[in-house]
């Protein structure tokens, strides 16, 4: 892609993110406070190193507890959203990451892989994740499931790559990962268009796994580097 094309892409990312989430930023932050404390912290060593892939406005990486933290995104506006001390990697995730082999304990990504242009880009990204993780390190993947959202999946302008928990798990295995957890239904689809439920209902939902099977539209897949 030319420099001009890359700049146009980045500008569109900024506009799209602001349009979709600008008026819900405070609510999203509070939901991610619950998600990090009540669910995802168990995957992240507090004395370890974590990278959020497609970090957006940093709701996860700003709040998760870890000794060293990175955020990666092609959107240049993400840098200003990250807390002091978080290292921002402004790049295409399918290109080589500026990290040593085995530098990371955990990689987390949420609602990001569907924005990649194709499975070739995703495959390169997964191989970079495998390279940069320590043995025993985890790649935690959350995203909309094409099997539970066959129509609504495409309601966003920037959704390109259809994925299910099964296809992503297979891609992870091809990249060298073992599969620790593979859930077809975890969280509801989106906080971008629906009403904002009270936070106590979000906390209750996380505790009631049977509710996941009824309302969950996003997969949760956790890959582990052997």
* Per-residue pLDDT tens over the stretch 67-88: 999 999 999 999 999 999 999 9
pTM of the model: 0.88
Spatial distance between the Cα atoms of 13 and 77, rounded to a whole number of angstroms:
9
- Residue 189 pLDDT class (50, 70, 90 cuts): confident
Element containing residue 128 per DSSP (H, E): helix 119-132
Spatial distance between the Cα atoms of 33 and 37, rounded to a whole number of angstroms:
6
Looking at domain 3-224, which of 3.40.50.150, 3.90.1150.10, 1.20.1250.20, 3.20.20.140 is its CATH number?
Answer: 3.40.50.150
Helices (H), 22-118: 25-38, 78-81
Tell me what pLDDT residue 156 has: 86
> The sheet that has 133-144: what strands, in order across it?
87-90, 68-73, 49-53, 104-110, 133-144, 218-224, 178-183
What's 152's DSSP letter? G
Give the chain's radius of gyration (CA, Å).
16
List residues bridging with 106 in a β-sheet.
Answer: 50, 138
Whether 9 shows a pLDDT value over 60: the answer reads no
């Amino acid at each position: 892609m030319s420099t001009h094309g890359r700049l146009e892409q980045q500008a569109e990312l900024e506009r799209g993110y602001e349009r979709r989430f600008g008026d819900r930023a405070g609510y999203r932050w509070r939901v991610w406070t619950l998600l990090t404390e009540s669910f995802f912290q168990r995957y992240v060593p507090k004395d370890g190193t974590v990278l959020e892939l497609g970090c957006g406005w940093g709701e996860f990486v700003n709040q998760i507890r870890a000794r060293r933290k990175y955020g990666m995104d092609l959107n240049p506006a993400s840098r200003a959203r990250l807390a002091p001390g978080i290292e921002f990697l402004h790049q295409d995730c399918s290109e080589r990451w500026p990290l040593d082999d085995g530098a990371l304990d955990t990689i987390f990504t949420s609602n990001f892989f569907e924005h990649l242009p194709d499975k070739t880009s995703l495959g390169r990204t997964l191989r970079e994740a495998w390279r940069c993780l320590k043995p025993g390190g985890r790649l935690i993947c959350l995203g909309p499931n094409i099997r539970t959202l066959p129509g609504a999946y495409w309601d966003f302008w920037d959704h390109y790559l259809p994925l299910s928990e099964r296809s992503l798990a297979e891609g992870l295995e091809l990249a060298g990962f073992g599969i620790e957890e593979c859930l077809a239904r975890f969280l509801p689809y989106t906080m971008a268009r629906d009403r904002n439920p009270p936070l106590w209902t979000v906390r209750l939902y996380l505790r009631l796994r049977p509710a996941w099977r009824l309302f969950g539209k996003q997969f949760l897949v956790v890959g582990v580097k052997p």
